[in-house]
A and B are shown apart, each in its own frame.
Chain A
Amino acid sequence: DGGITQSPKYLFRKEGQNVTLSCEQNLNHDAMYWYRQDPGQGLRLIYYSQIVNDFQKGDIAEGYSVSREKKESFPLTVTSAQKNPTAFYLCASRPGGGLGNEQFFGPGTRLTVL
C-alpha cells in the first residue's frame, strides 16, 4: 500500500529538548516537503528537498533542521532554538521529474511542547 507515513501521531516534549519527527514515503517520489500548520492558518514551508542529499530552506526554517540521506526518508528535527514549536507538522512528497506537481500529504504529527 503506497503512501506517506509520519510518526508519531502525537508528541509531547519538554521545553529545551530537541525532537525528531519521522517522514517516510514508498511512492518513489523525488521531492519531499515539511510544513507547519498553526490553528486557523495555512501551511508554511519549513524545508524541502528535490533530490537525495540536497535540501533548501523554506519560509520558516529557523530552529529546524533536516536531512535527506535516502530517497524515501526526510526527518525533521525541531531544535531548542525554535521559539514556539507547538504546532501540527505535515510532511508531503511530489513525484518530480515532470511527472506531476501534486503533493501527497502524510497524516501529520501534532507536537506539543510543555
Chain B
Amino acid sequence: QKEVEQDPGPLSVPEGAIVSLNCTYSNSAFQYFMWYRQYSRKGPELLMYTYSSGNKEDGRFTAQVDKSSKYISLFIRDSQPSDSATYLCAPYNTNAGKSTFGDGTTLTVKP
C-alpha cells in the first residue's frame, strides 16, 4: 500500500464549477500538507499548504486536512480554464526532511 493515495482522475469540469481533489495517507509523521500544481511538461510549483488539521483559504482555493481520518482535500471554487493542470498532494515529514507525493489528478476546465 502506498503512503499517499490520490484520487486518480482525470477530471473534466465546465468553467465555474466547484472542484474537489482528495488524498489519503497512512504515515502519522506527516505534519505539513502541501498541494503542488504542475502544468504540462513543467516542474511543479507550490499552490498552498496547511499545518496539522484544519482549513486554509487562499482566494478561490481551500485546503483542508483531517488528521484523525488522514484525509487531505483541495477545493477550487469558480474554476477557470487556467486551472487546467495536474494537482499533486504532498504531505511533508519534518523529521525526515522530505515529502511523499501522490500520483496526481489531472484537471481540465472547459470554457
Residue positions of A touching B, CB distance < 8 A: 4, 31, 33, 35, 40-45, 48, 50, 58, 88, 90, 92, 94, 96, 101-108, 110
* B6 on the A face (CB < 8 A): yes
Which B90-111 residues sit within 8 Å CB-CB of chain A? 90, 92, 94, 97-104
Given A48-B97, A101-B94, decide whether A107 and B42 contact each other with a Cβ distance below 8 A: yes
Question: Which residue of chain B lies nearest to A90 when distances are taken between CB atoms in the complex?
Answer: B43
Min C-beta distance of A65 to chain B, whole Å: 18
Query: Contact at B34–A101, with CB atoms within 8 Å?
Result: yes
- Give, as a whole number of angstroms, the nearest-CB distance from B98 to chain A: 6
What residues make up the interface of B, taking CB atoms closer than 8 Å to A?
6, 32, 34, 41-46, 49, 88, 90, 92, 94, 97-104
Closest residue of chain B to A88 (Cβ to Cβ) is B41
Q: How far is the CB of B91 from chain A (nearest CB, A)?
A: 10
Shortest distance from the beta carbon of B92 to any chain A beta carbon, whole Å:
5
A102-B88 in contact given A42-B101, A48-B97, A48-B98 (Cβ < 8 Å):
no
B98 & A42 in contact (Cβ 8 Å cutoff): no
**Interface SS of A by simple majority:** strand
Extra inter-chain contacts (8) besides given A42-B6, A107-B42, CB under 8 Å: A33-B98, A40-B103, A43-B88, A43-B90, A88-B41, A96-B97, A101-B34, A105-B44
Knowing A41-B103, A42-B88, A58-B98, the reply to whether A102 touches B49 (Cβ < 8 A) is: yes
Chain A residues near B103: list those with CB within 8 A: 40-42
Determine if A107 and B43 form an interchain contact, defined as CB atoms under 8 angstroms apart: yes
A103 and B97 contact, CB distance less than 8 A: no
Residue of B nearest to A9 (CB): B41
User: Could you say which residues of chain B place their CB within 8 Å of the CB of A58?
Assistant: 98
Pick the contact of B34: A40, A102, A110 (CB < 8 A): A102
Q: What's the minimum C-beta distance from A33 to chain B, rounded to whole angstroms?
A: 7
Partner among A44, A90, A101, A108 whose Cβ is within 8 Å of the Cβ of B49: A101
- Interchain nearest-CB distance for A109 vs B (Å): 10
Q: A40-B103, A41-B103, A101-B92 are in contact. Are A108 and B98 (CB under 8 A)?
A: no
Question: What chain B residues lie within 8 Å of A110 (beta carbons)?
Answer: 41
